Chain A
Amino acid sequence: MNRPLPRIRIRGLEKAFADHRVLQGLDLEVPEGCSLVVIGGSGSGKSVLLKCILGLLEADAGSILVDGEEVVGASERTLERLRLKFGMLFQGAALFDSLTVWENVAFGLLARRRLRRSEARERAIATLAEVGLGAEVAELYPAELSGGMKKRVGLARAIATEPEILFFDEPTTGLDPIMADLINRLVRHTVKRRGATAISITHDMTSVRRIADRVAMLYGGRIIWEGPITEIDHSGNPYVDQFIHGRAEGPIEVLQPAFAG
């Protein structure tokens, strides 16, 4: 048996903030070239999971292997090297306000110092074209863009350095349904065309069905179900069922309003 090594392998991951234990022994594997979507309610620790993998937050316990290299407890130098493999689209796009659109997109390229500014600008404009934005937005500042355009610029920035592993933090949150569909298609297209490995986190089920190869559900600090997207409708897991059908009643505890008696 010669199973290929997963690109990311997480074992027993724990992370707490003060008394609040967010991740409580989480296990997860992401195979090469797979688009995994992690679903779960607001505040269930999805973003924390991504930030732990990136080394933006230090896990309290457990292990995260990226291509066989340990992230938890790694030196800043190792983390810096590992991060070159990653690209991330942030929830609010997190564009740099003080830089123009093309400088944002080219930021990772310029940070690596392999290109001159004029070359980086050309690459940035080519990457903007990939996400459907014309060269005319290149000189604008993020404050002059709409929410959907910001997301697209954020996506362009995440893929400009051609990373092997992509993270998407709620790619469709705050967008109208049409723009959300466009972003979903872009995410799917980008991941597949580049053969990248991707982890997305979302609670938008339309988005899940569009971009996922596999789905994992995060609840109570653990992955309680994981499987291919085709099996999500008959997972046999009451938590997953409640979540994908968006019901307030079920095993997932939510604070009930006064009228629900």
Chain B
Amino acid sequence: MNALAGIGRLTLAACATTGGVLIFGLEAIARGLRGPWYPRELALQMVRIGYFSLPVVGLTAVFTGMVLALQSYVGFTRFEAPQAIPTIVVLSMTRELGPVLAGLMVAGRVGAAMAAEIGTMRVTEQIDALVTLATDPLRYLVFPRLLAGVLMLPLLVLVADVIGVLGGYLVSVYKLGFGPIEYLTRTLDHLESQDIISGLVKAAVFGFVIALMGCYQGYRSEGGAEGVGAATTRAVVTASILVLTLDYGLTEVFFAR
């Protein structure tokens, strides 16, 4: 009996949280679109998400591209098809690893920072202060972050795609004996615009989810420094899990086409 009650409680809690997050996100979008707008806040968040995530995303991308080339060489020489390496690298980067790895990195970097900042504002009554100063926190704090996430993550992924291919190129040309021209031609030969676009759509969705979890968990945090810490952890964990599960869902959607 107790076990069943436990399952019931967990299910209800999961439903309540999902509903809460959805309502929070939709409310923020609805109010944000109606204005007033806060361009300064938006610009600040775009710089924080886009520009300051470049080093970590770039580093991840270059090593992923390099290791992809190396590993696929091991596999594909067994089928005597090493010429497939450039295609494997570019498709894996654009369709899958660019968005997912950038998403996970940004979840750790930006999602955590958003939850900590908004959570601190919550427990120190700064959010209440915003309201008393005739400013809607959903419009002022949440909407610019959501929008910045949606706009900046695709740009980051575009950079990650290029740097990832560069990583594959470096290993293939300087270690595996590919010709430079040959590698680049083969990279572009089988690349279709849909490969890149599907990756960018994924990135936009991930950017939204990461910002949403960061804002929601921060906004709902309570109980001082400990509560803010817990909110930060929850933001990163839930955003990372959502990135991975939504990645499969979106891949299914694009696969069917």
Contact = CB atoms under 8 A, between A and B. Distances in A.
A and B form one complex: yes
Interface residues of B, number: 15
Given A88-B129, A96-B129, A111 B135 contact: yes
Contacts of A90: 125, 128-129
Interface in B117-152: 120-121, 124-126, 128-136
A68 interface: no
A107 interface: yes
B134 A94 contact: no
A21 to B, nearest CB: 19
Contacts of A131: none
B75 interface: no
A51 to B, nearest CB: 7
Contacts of A92: 124-125
Contacts of B134: 80, 83-84, 108, 111-112, 161
Contacts of A96: 121, 126, 129-130
Contacts of B135: 107, 111
A97 interface: yes
A156 interface: no
A57 to B, nearest CB: 9
**Residue in B36, B121, B131 with the greatest tally of chain A CB atoms within 10 Å:** B131
A157 B133 CA distance: 9
**Residue in B36, B120, B133, B136 with the greatest tally of chain A CB atoms within 10 Å:** B133
Contacts of B125: 90-92, 94
A53 to B, nearest CB: 11
**Size category, A interface:** 20 to 34
Interface string A157-196: 1000100000000000000000000000000000000000
Contact of B128 (A51, A84, A113, A161): A51
A54 B132 contact: yes
A86 interface: yes
A56 interface: yes
A86 B129 CA distance: 11
A80 B36 CA distance: 13
B247 to A, nearest CB: 33
Interface string B80-120: 00000000000000000000000000000000000000001
A87 interface: yes
Nearest to B128: A56
B126 A83 contact: no
A42 to B, nearest CB: 16
A40 B126 CA distance: 24
Nearest to A81: B134
A84 B124 CA distance: 22
A95 B128 CA distance: 11
Contacts of B36: 113
A157 to B, nearest CB: 7
B170 to A, nearest CB: 40
A56 B129 CA distance: 10
Interface string A95-113: 1110000000001100111
A51 B132 CA distance: 10
Contacts of B124: 92, 94
A112 B36 CA distance: 10
B133 A56 contact: no
Given A111-B134, A157-B133, A97 B128 contact: no
Interface string A29-64: 000000000000000000000010010100000000
Contacts of B126: 94-97
The 6 closest A-B pairs by CB, nearest first: A94-B125, A94-B129, A108-B133, A88-B132, A111-B135, A90-B125
Interface of A: 51, 54, 56, 80, 83-84, 86-88, 90-92, 94-97, 107-108, 111-113, 157, 161
12 contacts: A54-B128, A56-B128, A56-B132, A83-B131, A84-B134, A88-B132, A90-B125, A94-B125, A94-B128, A111-B134, A157-B133, A161-B134
Interface of B: 36, 120-121, 124-126, 128-136
Given A56-B128, A80-B136, 15 more contacts: A83-B131, A83-B132, A83-B134, A84-B134, A87-B132, A88-B132, A90-B125, A92-B125, A94-B129, A96-B130, A108-B134, A111-B135, A157-B129, A157-B133, A161-B133
